[in-house]
C-alpha cells in the first residue's frame, strides 16, 4: 500500500505483542510513539539495537514517548529472544514487540522491500500524541540504527511544536548557530523589513531577513 506520509494519521491496526494485544495507535493517545521494525530475532545487529533502545528507554519515557518493536517472527520467538537477552546480556526488554508473523502490518507500512529480502528492513516511525506521523527513517538490514539520532529528532520535534521554530543541521551542535533555533522566515515585506531593523539594532540575530535565529529561553 506504499509508505505512510508525514503529517497524516498513522494506519490503525490490532496486533499481538509480547505484552498482550494492542490497538495502534489508539492505545497510545496522548503519548509520542517510536515504532520500529527489525529484520529478525536472534540476529546480531538487531540484538545490538534492542540493547541500545532499552538502555535509553528511560530517556524516551521522560519525553512522554513509548517504544514499540516489530518483526515478522512469531510471539514465541520474541519471548525466547528477550529471555536470551536478559540471561546473556543482563538487560530486560521492557517495551512490547509486535509479532507480525503474517506480514500484514509490515506490508501496510511499507516495511518489506522485496529487493532486500523477505524480512522487514529497519524502519522507524515517530508518531505524535494525536496519532500523526511526524518522522520516519529506513535503514538496510546491514546497517544498525543510531538510537541517539532518533532521540535527537524526537526532542527536536517537541521543541519545534512548543516554540514554533525549526532546528538547524546537527542541532544542538550546528556549525553556524550552535544550539540556537531558527525563527520561521518572514511571510511578508513588512515583517522582513522589521527583522532587518531589529538585526541592525542587535535586537535580533540574523544573517538576513529570511535567516534569523534565537536561543530558547
CATH number of the structural domain spanning residue 74: 3.40.30.10
**3-class SS at 76?**
helix
Alpha carbon distance 25, 129 (integer Å): 9
Q: Same structural domain for residues 19 and 120? A: yes
30 by Cβ neighbours in 10 Å (0-12 / 13-18 / 19+) ranks as: exposed
- 206 given a catalytic annotation: no
Structural domain of residue 206, as residue ranges? 164-217
Residue 63 located in a structural domain: yes
Look at strands 13-17 and 20-24 and give their pairing: antiparallel
Question: What's the distance, Cα to Cα, between the start and end of the chain in Å?
Answer: 43
Is 28 among the domain residues? yes
Q: Are residues 138 and 183 in the same domain?
A: no
How is residue 191 written as a grid cell? Answer: 515583517
Tens of pLDDT along 123-168? 999 999 999 999 999 999 999 999 999 999 999 999 999 999 999 9
Q: Does residue 88 share a domain with residue 42? A: yes
Active-site hit among 46, 65, 82, 150: 46
Rounded to an integer, what distance in angstroms lies between the CA atom of residue 66 and that of residue 131? 13
- The reply to whether 100 falls in a domain is yes
Local structure of residue 29 (DSSP, 8 states): T
pLDDT over 70 percentage in the chain: 99
Amino acid at each position: 500500500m506504499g509508505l505512510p506520509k508525514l503529517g497524516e494519521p498513522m494506519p490503525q491496526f490490532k496486533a499481538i505483542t509480547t505484552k498482550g494485544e494492542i490497538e495502534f495507535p489508539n492505545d497510545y493517545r496522548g503519548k509520542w510513539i517510536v515504532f520500529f521494525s527489525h529484520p529478525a530475532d536472534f540476529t546480531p545487529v538487531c540484538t545490538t539495537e534492542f540493547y541500545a533502545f532499552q538502555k535509553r528507554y528511560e530517556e524516551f519515557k521522560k519525553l512522554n514517548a513509548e517504544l514499540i518493536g516489530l518483526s515478522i517472527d512469531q510471539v514465541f520467538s520474541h519471548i525466547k529472544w528477550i529471555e536470551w537477552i536478559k540471561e546473556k546480556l543482563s538487560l530486560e526488554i521492557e517495551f512490547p514487540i509486535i509479532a507480525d508473523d503474517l506480514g500484514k502490518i509490515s506490508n501496510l507500512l511499507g516495511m518489506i522491500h522485496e529487493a532486500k529480502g523477505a524480512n522487514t528492513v529497519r524502519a522507524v516511525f515517530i508518531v505524535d500524541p494525536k496519532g500523526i506521523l511526524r518522522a520516519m527513517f529506513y535503514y538496510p538490514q546491514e546497517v544498525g540504527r543510531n538510537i541517539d539520532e532518533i532521540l535527537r529528532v524526537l526532542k527536536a520535534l517537541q521543541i519545534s511544536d512548543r516554540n514554533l521554530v525549526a532546528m538547524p543541521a546537527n542541532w544542538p551542535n550546528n556549525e553556524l548557530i550552535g544550539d540556537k533555533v531558527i525563527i520561521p522566515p518572514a511571510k511578508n515585506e513588512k515583517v522582513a523589513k522589521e527583522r532587518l531593523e531589529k538585526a541592525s539594532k542587535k535586537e535580533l540575530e540574523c544573517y538576513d531577513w529570511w535567516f534569523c535565529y534565537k536561543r530558547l529561553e
